[in-house]
């Protein structure tokens, strides 16, 4: 096996860690309480970049941050949510138009 293949095989065996919403919020609260980001990162064995990303997501998405199994709430998720809403509203409008036409023809 080549060196490159060995690295790929070893990487494939490692499982990516996922963190709960509560854990992420706890880490951020500790920083807001006065601990340095570097200190919290060492304590929980996280990278500074990971914590910075979590803080940025919390600022950007507030209560919607960290929705789902470690997945970030993204703009793409928001677009999908809005597209579903548009579809539902379109169906409601079509129904109401048909109902209105029916009521007008009966009068």
pLDDT tens digit string along 38-54? 999 999 999 999 999 99
Q: Give a yes or no: residue 10 inside a domain.
A: no
- Summarised one tens digit per residue, pLDDT across range 52-75 is 999 999 998 888 788 766 555 667
Q: Give a yes or no: residue 54 inside a domain.
A: yes
Specify whether the CB–CB gap between 10 and 2 falls below 8 A. Answer: no
Q: Answer whether residue 37 shows pLDDT above 70.
A: yes
Q: Give a yes or no: residue 5 inside a domain.
A: no
**Same-domain status, 90 and 61:** no
Q: Give a yes or no: residue 4 inside a domain.
A: no
Lookup result for tokens 């963190």? 19
CA 24 to each of CA 35, 70, 73, 79: distance values in angstroms, whole numbers, following the listed order = 15, 9, 14, 24
Q: Give a yes or no: residue 2 inside a domain.
A: no
Q: What is the pLDDT of residue 11?
A: 57
Please give the residue range of the domain that contains residue 29.
19-73
Residue 42: CB atoms within 10 A of its CB come to 11
Q: What is the pLDDT of residue 69?
A: 61
Task: Specify the number of domains making up the chain.
Answer: 2
The CATH number linked to 49 is 1.10.10
Please give the average per-residue pLDDT across 12-29, as a whole number.
87
């Amino acid at each position: 096996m080549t060196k490159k293949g060995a690295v790929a095989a070893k990487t494939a065996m490692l499982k990516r860690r996922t963190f709960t919403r509560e854990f992420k919020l706890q880490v951020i609260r500790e920083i807001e309480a006065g601990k340095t980001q570097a200190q919290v990162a060492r304590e929980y064995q996280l990278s500074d970049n990971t914590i910075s990303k979590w803080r940025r997501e919390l600022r950007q998405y507030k209560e919607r941050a960290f929705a789902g199994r470690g997945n970030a709430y993204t703009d793409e998720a928001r677009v999908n949510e809005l597209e579903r809403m548009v579809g539902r509203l379109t169906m409601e409008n079509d129904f109401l138009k048909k109902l209105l036409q029916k009521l007008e023809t009966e009068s």
